[in-house]
Amino acid sequence: MPTTVITHIGSLVTNDPARGDGSPLGLVQDAALVIEDGAVAWIGRASEAPAADEVHDAGGRAAIPGFVDSHSHLVYAGDRTAEFNARMSGRPYTAGGIRTTVRATREAADEELSANLGAHLREMLRQGTTTVETKSGYGLTTDQEARALRLAREHTPETTFLGAHIVGPEFEDDADAYTALVAGEMLDACAPYARYVDAFCEKGAFDGDQTRAILTAGKAKGLIPRVHANQLSHGPGIQIAAELGAASADHCTHTDDADLAALADSGTVATLLPGCEFSTRSPYPDARRFLEAGVTVALSTDCNPGSSYTSSMPFCVAVAVREMNMTPDEALWSATAGGARALLRDDVGRLAPGARADITLLDAPSHVHLAYRPGVPLVAGVWRGGVREV
């Protein structure tokens, strides 16, 4: 397989603290990077780069690890523009709109769902994202949830079983019976296509006991737990995530100090979703509190047709810097290495020999421009697994 060198990278984020200036971003100035067999083979100064079969001159542009978007809901059909419009006229977000998407998703053919998912993944790639997690949760019957995960698996290995998104419409008066279905027959049908199990722990969705029952059953089937926690109100979701050793607790909009201590102690990543607060006009979580408490923070889009219909990690980085008290360096780390931690992956989210050659080239002299130039399409090139995709 031919080797490729990307040379004259003005500023390279490696997320390898052993490299460069010793900061968490492991910045290397005037860098080069060699790709071999889909992986990073060498990183160093451009002047010392070994020869390769193909040469790409970055012309002083910055490069970063491809973004790792560790939370999205992309197996769906239908449109919720009207709901968004109503929200922007003052209606609150309640998660009730999930039912609208469930109806449309159930009616859609496999081909439509798969094409919609593929189109969104392509949109993400063009914005520099090379690893994407996505979930079921708009089917809410055994067959529909298994179908969603089977289709998702054809696009990404990072799939999450979210049968516990809301109580299925057939069970509206019996959340416990629906919980038993999710933790039993539905889990059995979905586990072969999923890597994680998730539940929306919230008033009106699943309470602490129901959440615990579903995640524990998923764990027994070999799935890794993650939780939609503390999104619309303060509840037990974060504590349950920490107690069960979940890979991440996602949203974390309403937290107290005990929640942050539990996350720090357990090592559970807090996945913050600025697109969701933006699109639901909710107050943003203060990432500074999480970082000062020693919590690992990931940033992700939560891309879904209801609460956060953005596929853009650059947008999330910019909002996290402006509204959530993160520095540009912290936000970049959380959108790459943080996302990889939330997915328990060490081959992505960083650039070092042996890591996957997922590289996003920016039309900018440094990664700081992602926050400094919000809304500007700065992605100039994307390699995924060593292959130039954009």
Annotated binding site for Zn(2+): 71, 73, 228, 302
Considering the complex, state which of residue 142 and residue 279 has its C-beta at the smaller distance from Fe ion.
279
- CA dihedral of 339, 341, 345, 347, whole degrees rounded to 10: 80
**Do the Cβ atoms of 289 and 338 come closer than 8 Å?**
no
Closest distance between ligand NIG and the C-beta of residue 238, in Å? Answer: 14
Identify the helix (H) or strand (E) that includes residue 34.
strand 28-36
73 binds ligand NIG (CB under 6 A): yes
Closest distance between Fe ion and the C-beta of residue 41, in Å? Answer: 37
Q: Which residues are annotated as a binding site for N-formimidoyl-L-glutamate?
A: 138, 304, 306
**Within 13 A of 266's CA, how many CA atoms are on the CB side?**
23
What is the dihedral sign for C-alpha 131, 136, 138, 143?
A: positive
Considering the complex, state which of residue 165 and residue 369 has its C-beta at the smaller distance from Fe ion.
165
Q: Which residue, chain included where needed, has tokens 């996003």?
A: 360
**Do the Cβ atoms of 287 and 272 come closer than 8 Å?**
yes
230 binds ligand NIG (CB under 6 A): no
Q: Choose one: 52-60, 95-103, 207-215, 350-358; the region binding ligand NIG (CB under 6 A).
A: 95-103
DSSP class of 113: H
Considering the complex, state which of residue 36 and residue 302 has its C-beta at the smaller distance from Fe ion.
302
226 binds ligand NIG (CB under 6 A): no
- Mapped onto helix, strand or coil, the DSSP state of residue 124 is helix
Give the C-alpha separation, 124 to 296, whole Å: 24
Which of 160, 230, 231, 366 contacts ligand NIG by CB under 6 A? 231
Give the footprint of ligand NIG on residues 269-328 (CB under 6 A).
276, 302, 304-308
Q: Which residue, chain included where needed, has tokens 């010793």?
A: 22
Give the C-alpha separation, 250 to 153, whole Å: 21
231 binding partner (options ligand NIG, Fe ion, none; Cβ < 5 to 8 Å by kind): ligand NIG
Please state the length of the chain: 390
95 binds ligand NIG (CB under 6 A): yes
228 binds ligand NIG (CB under 6 A): yes
Give the C-alpha separation, 80 to 101, whole Å: 8
241 binds ligand NIG (CB under 6 A): no
302 binds Fe ion (CB under 5 A): yes
Helix, strand, coil percentages (3-state) for the chain, rounded to 5, are: 35, 25, 40
Q: Choose one: 41-49, 150-158, 180-188, 297-305; the region binding Fe ion (CB under 5 A).
A: 297-305
Considering the complex, state which of residue 303 and residue 362 has its C-beta at the smaller distance from ligand NIG.
303
Give the C-alpha separation, 195 to 313, whole Å: 23
- Number of residues located near Fe ion, criterion CB under 5 A: 1
Residue ranges that bind Fe ion, judged by CB under 5 A: 302
Which residues of the shown chain bind ligand NIG in the complex (CB under 6 A)?
73, 95, 97-98, 101, 200, 228, 231, 276, 302, 304-308
